[in-house]
Amino acid sequence: MVPNYKKIALWVALLFIWPLTIAFIYQTSFPDIEGELLAIISYGLVACIVAFFPFIVSNTPIFFVHGIGFAVFLSYGLFMEVMLTQLAVLIVLAKVKISRSDSYRIPLNLLMFLFVSLAAASVYKWLGGTVGEFHLSTFREVVPLLGYAITVFVTNHLLLYCFRRFLVGSQVKFLNKSVIWEFCTTLVVLPVGFVLFMMYRDFDVAGIYFVSFPFISISIILKLFHSSQQVNDYLQETSEIGHELTGELEVNEVIDLFVQRVTKLLAVDYSYVYEVVDAETLKLSRLYDVEGKIEFPANDKLRKFEAVSGKAWGENRTITYKSQKDWAQFAESYLPVQGESIISVPVQRNNKIVAVITLISKRKGGFEKYQFMILDILVNYLAVALENARNYEETRKRSERDQLTGLYNYRFFDNYIQNYFANIRLTKRHEHISLVLLDLDRFKHINDTYGHQSGNEILQELSNRLKLLMDDKGIVARYGGEEFVVLLPNCTKMESLRIAELIRKEIASNSFVLKQHILDKEDPILVNVTASVGVATYPDNCEDPIDLIRHADRAMYIGAKQQGRNKVAMYDKLIGAQLQAE
């Protein structure tokens, strides 16, 4: 992101440097062009046509105007070459449709090409080169031509690297893919430009048009070749993304990976992921902004056919817009004001839309046709990956949860506490961990008196009460039968005792409603239930998770059950009492 003051500085530099430099070049190298108007127009026409076939490599437009400029320079000198090149640059910038926020590229590119022209002409003259008539009878006469070509390539790359490194602040490599393309095209284009000059010298204007056809053909062929290579690269990376998506197991991980990789692959500036909530509502689950300036909107839901994303969902088709004026009628205020091009794609699985992906670029016409195909493939990958992830989560949830109460089961709790303690040892942190273990008193009698269905009702209601009491304070699990356990991270002995007493009172003070009892009457009945509770704390009472559970269990049976039930017992008080008794 280029700061505003740098953008302003570029425009100021253009206003002062450009006219002064052009005036200087005009005074020192304006050629005699009497009778040459048709040739100059012909050169300009060829340059304009070539400028219509740029291709983007590493965010850098590459086009072949230097070849035409070389011929013009050899024919008429620096002034005409500069004017023709500047015209071609403006055409290229118009062709690639730079956005308002990127308008600083206009002064940047005009100044850069101006400096390249000056540097190449200076080296050419320094090496003894002449403009107009000359013969290549010796190698010495070839040296200025080679110097011109090398200077164009080196100066162009150095300026581009410096602008990106120090103006934009991008951590770009000095040698990248755009440099390779620039070098290869220079090897082809400048020799053809020299041939263009020679043909004009020998055959006048007819020679320009004779060579311009293969020159333009080269531009088109290289653009098509680059496009095909780019599509192949996209397809290869698309396949890699597909494998990564199917390798992820969590739904959130799948969505995050998709947004991250697609944003980078398609070079978009903003990504929105909506998930279908019900038959009429979309909910925004992800918003990715490359610059990190947009906040997650408070109103994160859309109705069917509402705004761009809702329209894509409602019409069940991909929606695209090339510029902001095309989608300005939609009242989607949280869409970025800098956005221009939009593509919104519904994600289908089993003939049902499960999500909508909306991508936004700051560039007008920012999406190519082949990118629609790439996105369509990726969206299909995403649909499969989401379904697999949800199936996995459902399977894991069933394996981790107790079917009756919905709480975590013994297997999950045992793994969780083992991993928690392993992490404490690994990070070497000091932390109090308390464990509350409770067992319902005389639960067998309740089952025998009111039936097992009533016993299940009590277990379910108790589970709901524990979840409400604990909220996010700890992990609640059904340990087995009528036993429940609560793990309290970052909880001291006194705090855990207070929580345990709160649980005991909640059970004892509020009756349980039994609707499925086996008594003769059909109306629900109220039953009072109590629980015995044991508490142990790490590191006060133990050194590992097994001992923590064992000590809490011992406190519950010896300190609470055997002391009359409906009590809370601490393990250290239990030990103190035993020692005193001994």
Residues with catalytic annotation? 482
Residue 48, Cβ neighbours under 10 Å: how many? 17
Annotate 257-319 with DSSP letters as a single string. HHHHHHHHHTT-SEEEEEEEEETTEEEEEEEEETTS-PPPPS--EEETT-HHHHHHHHHTS-E
By DSSP bridging, strand 525-527 and strand 531-538 are: unpaired
Nearest to 443 by CA among 455, 453, 454, 457: 455
Q: What is the spatial distance between Cα 22 and Cα 525, in angstroms, rounded to a whole number?
A: 98
- Cα three-residue angle 561-508-547, rounded to 5 degrees: 40
| Cβ neighbours of residue 362 closer than 8 Å, sequence gap 6 or more | 99, 101, 102, 269, 338, 339, 340
Q: Determine contact, residues 404/481, Cβ cutoff 8 Å.
A: no
Q: Determine contact, residues 564/531, Cβ cutoff 8 Å.
A: no
Q: Which two tokens stand for residue 282?
A: 């979309």
Q: Which two tokens stand for residue 1?
A: 């992101």
By DSSP bridging, strand 281-289 and strand 270-278 are: antiparallel
By DSSP bridging, strand 483-489 and strand 319-321 are: unpaired
Burial zone of 525 (CB within 10 Å; 0-12 exposed, 13-18 middle, 19+ buried): middle
Q: What is the spatial distance between Cα 556 and Cα 559, in angstroms, rounded to a whole number?
A: 6
Residue 299, Cβ neighbours under 10 Å: how many? 8
Half-sphere exposure in the Cβ direction for 282 (13 Å, CA): 27
Q: Determine contact, residues 155/119, Cβ cutoff 8 Å.
A: yes
Angle between helices 139-162 and 105-126 (to 10 degrees): 150
Give the containing element (helix H, strand E) for 22: helix 4-29
- 436 — alpha (psi -120 to 50), left (phi > 0) or beta? beta
Q: Determine contact, residues 566/504, Cβ cutoff 8 Å.
A: yes
